[in-house]
């Protein structure tokens, strides 16, 4: 999980396209979780504590018009594309590892 990662996100229409880059996939997962937590705080400004289930986070990812990731592969010296399901699986795995600590 130590490869440069570019997250491509389109929340709504094509004018909302943007990208984020990270030094590894784990940081990408953290950023997606932070995006979701920020959204929850916007929706629940009076709540001092935010709780959510992995299914809620998966739905948040599904609500993007488009989302994908490019992860650098040192062997091929190229970025490998990954889809929404790959992102959701990696976020889940990241959360699972955090819970085990």
Q: What is the mean pLDDT of residues 3-22?
A: 95
How far apart CA 54 and CA 40 sit, in angstroms, is 14
Is residue 3 within 8 A of residue 71, CB to CB? The reply is yes
Domains along the sequence of the chain with CATH: 5-100 (3.30.2260.10)
Question: How do residues 18-27 score in pLDDT, each as one tens digit?
Answer: 999 999 999 9
Note the pLDDT of residue 61. 98
Strand order of the β-sheet with 66-73 is 18-22, 5-10, 66-73, 78-82
**For 48, what's the count of Cα atoms within 13 Å in the CB-facing half-sphere?**
0
Question: How do residues 28-73 score in pLDDT, each as one tens digit?
Answer: 999 999 999 999 999 988 888 888 999 999 999 999 999 999 999 9
How far apart CA 47 and CA 86 sit, in angstroms, is 31
Is residue 4 within 8 A of residue 21, CB to CB? The reply is yes
């Amino acid at each position: 999980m130590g490869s440069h990662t570019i997250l491509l996100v389109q929340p709504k229409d094509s004018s909302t396209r943007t990208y984020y880059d990270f030094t590894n996939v784990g940081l990408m997962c953290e950023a997606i979780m932070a995006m979701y937590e920020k959204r929850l705080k916007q929706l629940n400004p009076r709540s001092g504590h935010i709780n959510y289930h992995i299914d809620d986070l998966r739905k948040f990812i599904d609500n993007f018009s488009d989302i994908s990731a490019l992860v650098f592969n040192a062997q091929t010296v190229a970025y490998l594309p990954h889809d929404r399901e790959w992102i959701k699986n990696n976020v889940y795995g990241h959360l699972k590892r955090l819970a085990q600590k």
